[in-house]
Amino acid sequence: MKAFRATLFNVLFYTLTPIVGLLLLPACLGPRGWVCAVRDAWSRSVIAMLGLVVGLRWRLTGAESMPDGPVLIACKHQSAWETIALQLFCRDPAIVLKQELLKLPVFGWYLRRVGMVPIDRSAGAGALKMMVKAAEERVAEGRPVVIFPQGTRVAPGAEQAYHPGVYALYRALNLPVVPIALNSGQFWARESFMKYPGVVDVHVLAPIPAGLDRKSFMAKLEEVIETETGKLEKAATI
């Protein structure tokens, strides 16, 4: 039954997403708000479909820890789930992502119009400068900037270093950092056909104040995210 429900979701997701994307493409020619409305409606629809078809729901705790106004968010990355659901628990997020995604047909056009924070990994030392500049522009718009500090999806229980890019943004933006822990990878693993029923727990943690030195900040960020993620993984029921 789980395999059938996962199959049905995959068919619906990979069929309806490009169709809807093409049908609503004229939104990219209008005000940015139109594109954001498409983004939000698509995100809510996919998460609702996961609940109805797969039986995968989600629970948010600690939302009161999210400050008003621009902030830097450092989110654990285990699954494609959070790239879809971020719009549901972060207000109009500008996500740090690979620049190659902007070159994709249709999907990349939407990303460009929404306004993200691209990073060109082939640019060497200049990559961080480009990322910081784009992040500063998004913050000036009053939007939160979201970075996945490990740079890629990391399976539950696996170890992966925290990249220096998160500190570069922390120092340049001079904003508090809100860490987010989650356990999405236990239900929707990287490059996995299966999606399992259960509850994805998302925990917004207490902000880390601006102004810490690199060593203190990186150690604190990794400690709070990994500790809470470990708790959520142990408590998860599949």
From CA 145, how far away is CA 84, in angstroms rounded?
Answer: 15
Residue 238 has pLDDT above 70, yes or no: no
3-state DSSP call for residue 122? helix
Q: Both tokens of residue 64?
A: 């009161």
From CA 2, how far away is CA 198, in angstroms rounded?
Answer: 11
- Give the pLDDT score at 236: 82
Condensed to tens digits (0 to 9), the pLDDT of residues 55-105 reads 999 999 999 989 888 999 999 999 999 999 999 999 999 999 999 999 999
Condensed to tens digits (0 to 9), the pLDDT of residues 134-187 reads 999 999 999 999 999 999 999 999 999 999 999 999 999 999 999 999 999 999
pTM: 0.95
CATH architecture of the domain with residue range 2-235: 3-Layer(aba) Sandwich (3.40)
From CA 176, how far away is CA 34, in angstroms rounded?
Answer: 30
3-state DSSP call for residue 119? strand
Containing 147, the helix (H) or strand (E) segment is strand 145-147
Amino acid at 169: L
Residue 237 has pLDDT above 80, yes or no: no
Residue 61: CB atoms within 10 A of its CB come to: 13
Q: Per DSSP, what are the bridge partners of residue 73?
A: 146, 178
Q: Both tokens of residue 146?
A: 């979201």
Condensed to tens digits (0 to 9), the pLDDT of residues 103-118 reads 999 999 999 999 999 9
3-state DSSP call for residue 238? coil
- Which residues, 6+ apart, have CB-to-CB distance to 237 below 8 Å? 198, 199
From CA 214, how far away is CA 108, in angstroms rounded?
Answer: 33
Work out the end-to-end distance of the chain between its first and last CA atoms, rounded to an integer number of angstroms.
14
Q: What is the mean pLDDT of residues 37-59?
A: 98
Candidates 193, 182, 176, 197; CA nearest to 50 is: 197
Edge-to-edge strands, sheet with 198-204:
56-61, 198-204, 177-182, 72-75, 145-147, 94-98, 117-119
Amino acid at 85: A
Condensed to tens digits (0 to 9), the pLDDT of residues 152-167 reads 999 999 999 999 999 9
Q: Both tokens of residue 170?
A: 């922390």
Q: Both tokens of residue 88?
A: 């549901």
Q: Which residue carries 């990287």 as its tokens?
A: 190
Look up residue 102 and give its DSSP letter. G
Reported as half-sphere exposure (CB side, CA atoms, 13 A), residue 65 has a value of 19
Q: Which residue carries 């549901």 as its tokens?
A: 88
